[in-house]
Chain A
Amino acid sequence: MTSQYMAELCALLVEDNFGELFARIFSTLQRYDRLSFPRLKFYSRLSDRQLRHGLAAMIQHHLVYHYTSLDDGATYYEPNLQAAYYLVRSGKILEFIHARLGKYAATLMATIMFLGHAQVSYLETLPELQPEPPKTNGMGDENEEGEAGEQLNGHRDDEYTFEQPALLHPTLKALASHGYLIRVRDAQFQSYADNALDAERAIKSRPDVKQMKGKKLDETVLEGTLTLLKERLDGDLTRGLMFNGLPRGAKLRHANGSADAPSKRARVDYDDENGDEEENEWSDDDMGGDTTPMELGLVVRVNYEKLDVALRNRRFLELAELNSSSVTAQVYECLLRRIEYQTKQCRDSAEIPREGEEGEQYSVAIALNAVTEEVDPQLDLAGSIGPMEVSQPINRRGKRSLEDGINGTDHEASDKPSRSYEIDQHLSLLSQPPYNLTSKRMLAGLITWTVEFRHLARKLRHLELERVIEARYGDVALRVIRVLHAKGKLDEKRLQEISLLPFKDLRQVLASMQAGGFVDLQEVPRDAQRQPSRTIYLWFYDPDRIRSSMLEDTYKAMSRCLQRQRFERNRLKEFLEKTERSDVKGNEERYLSQAELTLLEQWKAKEALLLGEVARLDDMIAVMRDY
């Protein structure tokens, strides 16, 4: 799982986010993996004090696992690469939370991210969570804050001082019930392997297990370990917070009002909570008796697994938008959201299974009427699907357009097919090839819809690989790759017959792809002498292999972008230091010359571009590793 470039990237991320001390400790741990305190001190050449402070803070951020062995009493430290990697995704997550639950939720999330994990009572005391325009800690949403602050400044200050707990707790609850936050458990501070060993030991020492032997023992231990692990690591907070199977604060899409400016509207909703209640779903819930605040002693952290599910759904939605109308995509979004509420993680196994070996993994089935509830009633469902028969379009469409002329609204006469039928039509449209985004199930006579995750994740993966191949070798290569992928191993002649490409082009493209490692050649000798003339040559394309090599390349490209960014910053070091001086910062207009201002602008654009590129590369990583 660890690779050179991922390690390099994680070290860079830690350094960028937390500075040199963390970076020194982190890279030492990466190099030597598991170290006791004295060894760590020796290798990192840091003082006791620095090291203890650093480690404590890193443990708080879940960047370091620690484990105290019962045998020798020593504590070992290990780097947590996954947590370090997720630093790069924080911006994306915050943006997603912002779109889903509003600005305050995003601020809260950013605070929790910045703290690693946090106790609820501590969050209450934080000044930045007082609902003034919060000055959070540079986790990347400063621009939006600025503009929001300006818009709403008028009535802010007087209102919010007493309102604060009312905003913090419902938001926390909303985040928790969506599963975006989880409870911190002791076991989460130890690496998975340590936890597994611990659990195994605990099971083995049980008296009833001690008496078992052989195969039965193995089975019991394995099973027991898994359950115990699950129990110990489980920080699920959604139980008891779901409301009719929906998370609290899950606003129906149509509550956002006009669809063209949902984000802006949502922001307003959150900020004047007392204002209009019908627009804010969860304030209703609160009035309905569930006003108990979150336990003050509860310690929460961000649940990246669940957020990956949400982000993956967003990718599926993008896939749907490629080929479908926006109405269909909106229906799909509603289905995906319902599924998200009940999906804890992207897949059951730790690694992505090999191509062709992964089974089908369907999501929970969502009843058609649940989707219907979720869909915006204002949405014109009929207008984006053609009629069943071309010959008689007048029947349906003609009549409808007439009605529209008269009524001028979307509330049409009763002969119109029911809404759920229309939604079913949209979902059926999505279930068609090439992507098969949905699939229909009949459960006890009810129509339900599910999504086959493994298949779609595979599609996403292939799409990413195909994009790279197309960019590097052209569309001819793409055709060849698809043929090879569909048919398996092929010799040149057969490949030509199927792909209908001239030999010259075909050979050229195959050779260049082989040099790039995208296709490979297998030799099958027809006799023992292995003469080239009596050998069959078969071309093949192994998506697993390509995926892993592409994954490495992507890590590398990400770290190169970050390194370049650092290099660019060094080039402008003195100038940037000047702009960051406390008297200049915020007063750039006053202290900087025109030329310096343009330079600053350019630098900001450059930095944004490089970081944006890293985020785009992270999208690929997510597809190839996490989904």
Chain B
Amino acid sequence: MASAGSSAGSVTVLAAQLYDACINKFPSDHLFYQQDLLGLDIVPKNELALLLQCTQSLVDQKLFRLLQGKNDRLAWKIISREDAEKLQNLSPDESLVYNVIHSTGRSGIWVRAIGNRTNLHKSILDRCLKSLEGKSYIKSVHNVKFPSRKMYMLAGLAPSEDVTGGAWFTDGVLDENFINSVAGFIEYTVSRKSWYEVPASDGHRNKRMKTADGGMAVKQEAGQKEYLPFPAGYLGYPTVAMLTGAVNESGITPVRLGEESITQLLEMLCYDNKLVALNNGEVYKSIKNPEQVKSQQARKPRSDDAGIDDRLVKNGMTEAPCGHCPVFKLCAPGGAVSPESCEYFDPWLEKALGF
């Protein structure tokens, strides 16, 4: 017994040595296997039983976390002393729940999944969660994918993109205004870099050119800036990195946006036919020149006007009354809905002809 007692004492000492060595020699999230621990030369004669005792005592003190590594081998991770102190104050149930939540990291875990994994009764589980949340060890998060599920994760962690849906979500809801303002800013920024602004001194020259060539009757009026496209192969179009920098510097976003978020937004703008990706999305070019972008954005608030001057020119189908007719499918000569009795043609003719 005495030997056992002394060995127990030596185990704690050894364990403390082991822990310190681990802290000093490895990064904090290193996964320790048996070899790693033996390799520290702390356990005498590489005695396995002793090592096991040491690690067990460390696990008991919450200084080590027991994990299952590759091929079902045992593995450990170290826990910092402050965290260990926190954990030691938890009840066994609480620590069980805490470990489960800890294991899911930044993606969070659904309450029901915790129940399944811990096999705790729901009331106990609720109590544990409440006390953990009260100690602000964990927090509840909102998952965009499953808005109805109650999820938890460690308080110190920021939810991952999967959970929040990326930078464009605020509290799990897509932040439309934010997106629009950033999109407008990006479009304007890209636009400024993808058109060549003719210096003012050239103004007289362009006028002259216009008269020499009647076909050059472009919409530029006096006082308006003239923009020219850059030649093919121009290298000055903005890249994702440049745009990300510009957005973050502009102060329109409260949080720093990552390149992925900006890429996402740029792709959306491409689908809106506002930007064009060149060189496989390396650089972006705008369709409209800065003047047009500005005037379009200025017009935005008055939504009643926006429909009239859209970029896509109208075609036959959208002009004809038939294109909007809700009962077009039923229309037949001599039928209840017929071209003769059509009530859309007359207003249309009147509107178009003005009498």
Is the A/B pair a real complex? Answer: yes
Please state if A325 and B278 are interface contacts (CB–CB under 8 Å).
no
Interface string of A462-483 (1 = CB under 8 A from B): 0110111011100100110011
Contacts of A379 in B (CB 8 A): 213, 215
Choose among B208, B229, B267 the residue with the greatest number of A CB atoms under 10 Å from its CB: B229
15 CB contacts below 8 A, A to B, read A384-B228, A385-B228, A429-B231, A432-B278, A470-B310, A482-B273, A497-B166, A498-B267, A554-B316, A560-B322, A560-B331, A564-B339, A609-B352, A613-B319, A616-B320
A388, B230: Cβ atoms closer than 8 Å? yes
Interface assignment of B202: CB less than 8 Å from any CB of chain A = yes
Q: How far is the CA of A433 from the CA of B232 in the complex (A)?
A: 10
The tally of residues in A whose CB lies under 8 Å from a CB in B reads 79
Interface residues of A in 500-515 (CB under 8 A from B): 500-503
Residues of A bordering B, CB below 8 Å: 258-261, 322-328, 330, 378-380, 383-390, 393, 397, 401, 404, 410, 425, 428-429, 431-434, 463-464, 466-468, 470-472, 475, 478-479, 482-483, 486, 493, 496-503, 550, 553-554, 556-557, 560-561, 563-564, 567, 602, 605-606, 609-610, 613, 616-620
How far, in angstroms, from A229 to B256 measured CA to CA in the complex?
69
A564 & B267 in contact (Cβ 8 Å cutoff):
no
A498 proximity list for chain B (CB < 8 A): 264, 267-268, 271
Q: Which of these binds chain A: B1-9, B24-32, B77-85, B173-181?
A: B173-181
In the assembled complex, how far is the CB of residue B238 from the closest CB belonging to chain A, in whole angstroms? Answer: 12
CB closest residue in chain B, given A4: B332
Is A259 a contact of B349 with CB atoms below 8 Å? no
A404 to B229, CA, bound (A): 21
Please name 12 further chain A to chain B contacts, defined as beta carbons within 8 Å, in addition to the given A497-B165, A620-B315, sorted by A numbering.
A327-B213, A380-B216, A384-B229, A386-B231, A387-B230, A389-B236, A393-B196, A397-B202, A404-B205, A471-B314, A498-B267, A557-B320
Q: Are B212 and A378 in contact (CB under 8 A)?
A: yes
B303-328 residues with Cβ-Cβ distance < 8 A to A are 310, 312-320, 322-324, 328
Across the interface, do B231 and A425 meet the contact criterion of CB distance under 8 Å?
A: yes
Partner-A contacts on B (CB < 8 A): 145, 165-166, 168, 173-174, 176, 179, 195-196, 199, 201-202, 205-206, 208-209, 212-218, 228-234, 236, 264-265, 267-268, 271-273, 276-278, 287, 310, 312-320, 322-324, 328, 331, 333, 339-340, 342, 345, 349, 352-353, 355
Question: B229 near A500 (CB under 8 angstroms)?
Answer: no
In contact, A479 and B229 (Cβ under 8 angstroms): no
**Cβ of A274 to closest chain B Cβ, rounded Å:** 28
A440 vs chain B, min Cβ distance (A): 9
Nearest chain B CB to A1 CB, angstrom units: 21
Partner of B331, one of A328, A428, A556, A610: A556
Q: State the Cβ distance, A419 to closest chain B Cβ, in Å.
A: 15
How long is the Cα–Cα vector from A410 to B209 in the complex, in angstroms? 9
Please tell me if the beta carbons of A260 and B339 are within 8 angstroms of each other in the complex.
no
Q: CA separation between A389 and B235, bound complex, in Å?
A: 8
Q: Which of B312, B313, B340 contacts A567 (CB 8 A)?
A: B340
| CA of A44 to CA of B322, assembled, Å | 32
In whole angstroms, how far apart are the Cα atoms of A619 and B317 in the complex?
10
The listed residue (A463, A557, A602, A620) touching B355 by CB distance below 8 A is A602
Cα A500 to Cα B263 with chains together (Å): 12
Task: Determine whether the beta carbon of B264 is less than 8 Å from that of A500.
Answer: yes
Task: Give which listed residue, B233, B271, B276, contacts A486 with CB less than 8 A.
Answer: B271
> Which A residues touch B353, using CB under 8 A?
602, 605-606, 609
Main secondary structure on B side of the interface with A: mixed
Interface secondary structure of A, over-half rule: helix
With A386-B228, A401-B202, A428-B231 as known contacts, state yes or no: A557 contacts B316, CB within 8 Å: yes
A425 to B287, CA, bound (A): 19
Q: Are B232 and A464 in contact (CB under 8 A)?
A: no
Instruction: Say whether B318 contacts A467, CB under 8 Å.
Output: yes
Question: A386, B229: Cβ atoms under 8 Å?
Answer: yes
- Complex Cα–Cα for A493 and B166 (A): 13
**Chain A contacts of B199 at CB under 8 A?**
393, 397
Contacts of B328 in A (CB 8 A): 553, 556-557
With A and B bound together, what is the CA distance between A261 and B339 in angstroms? 41
- Count contacts between A and B, CB distance < 8 Å: 200
- Considering the complex of A and B, which 8 residue pairs feature the smallest CB-CB distances, nearest first? A386-B196, A260-B214, A616-B316, A428-B232, A557-B322, A471-B318, A617-B316, A563-B339
Nearest CB to that of A391 among chain B residues? Answer: B236
- Taking a contact as CB atoms under 8 Å apart, the answer to whether A554 and B317 are in contact is yes
Q: Are B212 and A468 in contact (CB under 8 A)?
A: no
* B174 lies within 8 A of A383 (CB): no
Residues in chain B near residue A378, CB distance under 8 A:
212-213
Contacts of A258 in B (CB 8 A): 214
Q: Are the C-beta atoms of A434 and B276 separated by less than 8 Å?
A: yes
Contact residue among B265, B312, B331, B355 (Cβ-Cβ distance under 8 Å from A470): B312
Q: Which residues of A contact B179 (CB under 8 A)?
A: 500
The reply to whether A464 and B315 contact each other, CB–CB distance below 8 Å, is yes
A483 to B, closest residue via Cβ: B271
Residue of B145, B209, B231 near A380 (CB, 8 A) is: B209
A206 to B326, CA, bound (A): 59
Which chain B residues border A463 with CB–CB below 8 Å?
A: 312
Q: Which residues of the other chain, B, contact A503 by a CB distance below 8 angstroms?
A: 174
Q: Which residues of A contact B214 (CB under 8 A)?
A: 258-261
Residue of B whose beta carbon sits closest to that of A322 = B313
Cα–Cα, bound, A259→B216 (Å): 9
Closest-by-CB residue of B relative to A613 is B320
Contact yes or no, B323 A468, CB < 8 A: yes
Complex: how many Å from CA A432 to CA B237? 13
The answer to whether B230 touches A385, judged by C-beta atoms less than 8 angstroms apart, is yes
List of A residues within 8 angstroms of B277 by Cβ? 433
Q: Are B267 and A467 in contact (CB under 8 A)?
A: no
Whether the pair A500, B232 counts as a contact (CB closer than 8 A) is no
A468 contacts across to B, CB distance below 8 A:
315, 317-318, 323
Q: Which residue of B lies closest to A571 (CB)?
A: B340
Chain B residues whose CB sits within 8 angstroms of the CB of A554 once the complex forms? 316-317
**Is the CB–CB distance between B317 and A401 below 8 Å?**
no
Whether the Cβ atoms of B313 and A467 lie closer than 8 Å is: yes
* B342 → chain A closest CB, angstroms: 7
Name A620's closest neighbour in chain B (CB-CB). Answer: B316
Q: How far is the CA of A503 from the CA of B168 in the complex (A)?
A: 13
| B230 interface neighbour in A386, A434, A496, A561, Cβ under 8 Å | A386
